[in-house]
Amino acid sequence: MSIVVLLSRDSLLLTQLQAAFARCAPQVQAVLADDPRALQARVAACWFPPAGSLGRLPGLQVIHSVAAGIDHLEHDPSCPDLPVCRVVDPGHRQGMTEYLRWAVIHYHRGFDRVLEQQREGLWERPLQRPARQFRVGVMGLGSLGGAIALDLAEAGYEVRGWARSAKRLAQVQTFAGLGELEPFLDGVELLINLLPLTAETRGILGRNTFSRLARGAALVNVGRGAHLDLDDLRQALASGQLRGALLDVFEQEPLPAGHPLWTTPGVSITPHMASAASHDCIAEQVADNLRRLHAGERLLNEVDRAQGY
């Protein structure tokens, strides 16, 4: 029987994944790091693997993220130079679309202000603005970002999109490369980040970016926690340059109790729930790649580690 080792700091996720493998890929034994059989595993399925865990597995041939991104692997400095694959769930796009529709309406219709008014006991109806008068910027126009930009444009919003390379999307004004970042940002009222994390995009959500947005703009980060400069965010919120930020991703997850973000005025936090691959999909795709590895076939959804996606 084939063996996959599951590596994560999230004990609940490990339990859920073991159940998914038993249900959807019974031909695979999904074991944890402390199981002696882990030393025989050729594939490690990971989500924020503990430091040193990957380096203790001499039989590994493939490292498999259980998510669409791979940057969480950096949390284990012992991660070897092996092929890396990710999970691509057809339902991922739908979940992200639903989350971001809610996020856009939350700020467009002023629900953030209404909820704050409730805490203060105020009754003040916000101005209702047509969607076409609310400018949304989407950073990252890959399979997810492109679909989000089109969905919002079809809903009537004025949508701009920015990516590393040139893209063309109906009803969306597109920009490409660092040379077009500033004109993309100018006057945006809601900035959505869906970029992959690379050396070039790390810290991109900082003072320079915030200063180009419309005053009182809002930020939604569903990319990666390391995209965001937390000090610059707090300053932008305190000065009124940003009115709010909806954050779903963080450099350390779960976000520790007592972290300043929990109580920063204007910040709303969700627990990395914008969208995620289903546990069954993870088990099926990891099992399929394990089969492909044994058969000498091309792996599915292999990542260019240099680019980060």
d(C-alpha 5, C-alpha 29), whole Å: 8
Phi and psi at residue 180, to the nearest 5° = -110, 10
Which among 161, 223, 167 has a CA at the least distance from the CA of 197? 223
> In whole angstroms, what is the distance from residue 9 CA to residue 277 CA?
18
Catalytic residue, candidates 135, 224, 234, 279: 224
Query: Which residue, chain included where needed, has tokens 């995009």?
Result: 201
* Spatial CB neighbours of 116, under 8 Å, sequence gap ≥ 6: none
* Dihedral sign computed on CA atoms, order 266, 271, 272, 275: negative
Which tokens hold the place of 305? Answer: 């580690």
Known catalytic membership, residue 227 = no
Q: Cα 183–130–109 angle (5° rounding)?
A: 90
Catalytic residue status for 224? yes
Q: Which are the catalytic amino acids?
A: 224, 272
